[in-house]
Amino acid sequence: MIEANNPSLKTWIEVAKESDFPIQNIPFGIFAPEGKTPRPASRIGDTVIDLSALCDNGFFDDLEIDNYGVFYSPVLNDFIELGKPIWSAVRNRISEIFSLNNKELLNNEVAKKSILYGIDKVDMLLPVEIGDYTDFYSSIEHATNVGIMFRDPENALLPNWKHIPVGYHGRSSSIVVSGTNIHRPMGQTKADDALAPTFGPSRLVDFELETAFITGKNSKLGEHITVDQTEDYIFGMVLFNDLSARDIQKWEYVPLGPFLSKSFGSVISPWIVTMEALEPFMVDGPKQDPAVLPYLDFEGKKNIDISLQVSLTPEDGEDTIICNSNFKYMYWNMNQQLAHHTINGCNINIGDMYGSGTISGPTPDSYGSMLELSWKGTKPIKLKDGTERKFIQDNDTITMRGSATNGDLRIGFGECTTKILPAKLK
Ligand code: MN
């Protein structure tokens, strides 16, 4: 077992029982303490750990890292470039420093002051510089629901769906960190019975409940990453709200796929949870039938039991949980997605991001978008305040949460939240 994953480990930092960040998590992120430059961090409970300050105080000296400058960088890309053995060694070292019986930092008040911050005292920033962004479409329940609503209930899945992890190349410039609010987009839409399109604010803004993984190793153009090799290329995961304007999407997507309906802002959670921390939660995925082509074949447990939740909060209102889903429902796993992505020789880079596609489960309360929850607007969603929603209204806040639990151990992602602001009409 990875020592930092030991479920019996305890820490001298206070951690609430329901925290997503016990000492067994040790995620990585970028934060800016007040008046200071952005820098790498980890987190235990509600305490943010400044990795540059740990480095200043010599806590990483025995790790034999080639470039200690990575702990002072405003993005994690350089740290990630050091490779999987170093991610692992740093995570284990942080775990050691904060273990209950370790007094090396505990008794050093001066060092503690420079290293530890309350989460409410700092801003979390985008953890990596995202080069390329790809979005998949890998939930069979989601693809089936969309097929039933927009095409043919008898042939809901297109003929390629069970053979290829379908995806498209998205836009990385508009990916923002949780807490960033997004304006309702303007765009072209056309009603079915209208002769011509009109221009105005989208009326059908939706969330897509997704996770995303971030790659931690470059590959060369012309090279293929096999399913087995993908383990070395995936650094970790975040929650991902792939905001979508359904009315713009419907008019623009033929024949090349979504364009402006998906690029007005997409939101990720700030803490990258490592694949190591998620290792105790691996499960089997759905049976793939028909059998996949050999280059997509895999062995072992490749899905992860991560329960996912979405809540909608009206302006000055109360939260209503409108979706409970789980990452384990995914038909295609991340390893297959990455193997497929590179089978043509497409190269990938450190910091690239890959969305799972909307994660819907088998029951109507587990659908991962308002399009499905309200079934194209025909079944409005009831909120606690008595109002109803078909899609997101101005000043509604969408919050996604995700966590994996196993006995007393809970590894979570924190929140991915955004408020939809009114359109900028001029
Ligand atoms: Mn999406």
Q: How far is the CA of 355 from the centre of ligand 1 (A)?
A: 7
Across the range 15-42, mean pLDDT stands at 97
Q: How far is the CA of 139 from the centre of ligand 1 (A)?
A: 11
pLDDT in tens, 70-79: 999 999 999 9
- pLDDT tier, 32 (very low <50, low <70, confident <90, very high otherwise): very high
Q: How far is the CA of 276 from the centre of ligand 1 (A)?
A: 25
Q: How far is the CA of 229 from the centre of ligand 1 (A)?
A: 25
- pLDDT tier, 1 (very low <50, low <70, confident <90, very high otherwise): confident
Q: How far is the CA of 241 from the centre of ligand 1 (A)?
A: 8
- pLDDT tier, 285 (very low <50, low <70, confident <90, very high otherwise): very high
The yes-or-no verdict on residue 426 having pLDDT over 80 is no
Regarding the domain delimited by 133-421, which CATH topology (the fold level of the hierarchy) does it fall under? Fumarylacetoacetate hydrolase; domain 2 (3.90.850)
Domain positions in the chain are 3-125, 133-421
Left, alpha or beta for 290 (phi > 0: left; psi -120 to 50: alpha)?
Answer: beta
The yes-or-no verdict on residue 362 having pLDDT over 90 is yes
- pLDDT tier, 97 (very low <50, low <70, confident <90, very high otherwise): very high
Across the range 200-210, mean pLDDT stands at 98
Handedness of CA 7, 9, 15, 21 (dihedral sign): negative
Q: How far is the CA of 76 from the centre of ligand 1 (A)?
A: 24
pLDDT value at residue 189 = 98
Cα 233 to Cα 219: distance, rounded to the nearest angstrom: 9
Q: Give the residue among 299, 366, 296, 376 at the shortest CA–CA distance from 328.
A: 366
Active centre residues (catalytic)? 142
- Maximum average pLDDT range among 1-5, 83-87, 150-154: 83-87
Across the range 8-35, mean pLDDT stands at 97
Q: How far is the CA of 330 from the centre of ligand 1 (A)?
A: 14
pLDDT value at residue 215 = 98
Tokens 């050691």 label which residue? 96
Cα 87 to Cα 2: distance, rounded to the nearest angstrom: 12
CATH of 3-125, one of 2.30.30.230, 3.50.50.60, 1.10.10.1200, 3.40.50.1100: 2.30.30.230
**Is there a cis peptide before residue 290, judged by omega within 30 degrees of 0?**
yes
> Quick one: what percent of the chain has pLDDT higher than 90?
98
Q: How far is the CA of 82 from the centre of ligand 1 (A)?
A: 30
Whole-structure pTM value: 0.98
> Quick one: what percent of the chain has pLDDT higher than 70?
100
Q: How far is the CA of 372 from the centre of ligand 1 (A)?
A: 13
Mean pLDDT value across the chain: 97
Q: How far is the CA of 166 from the centre of ligand 1 (A)?
A: 11
Q: How far is the CA of 270 from the centre of ligand 1 (A)?
A: 18
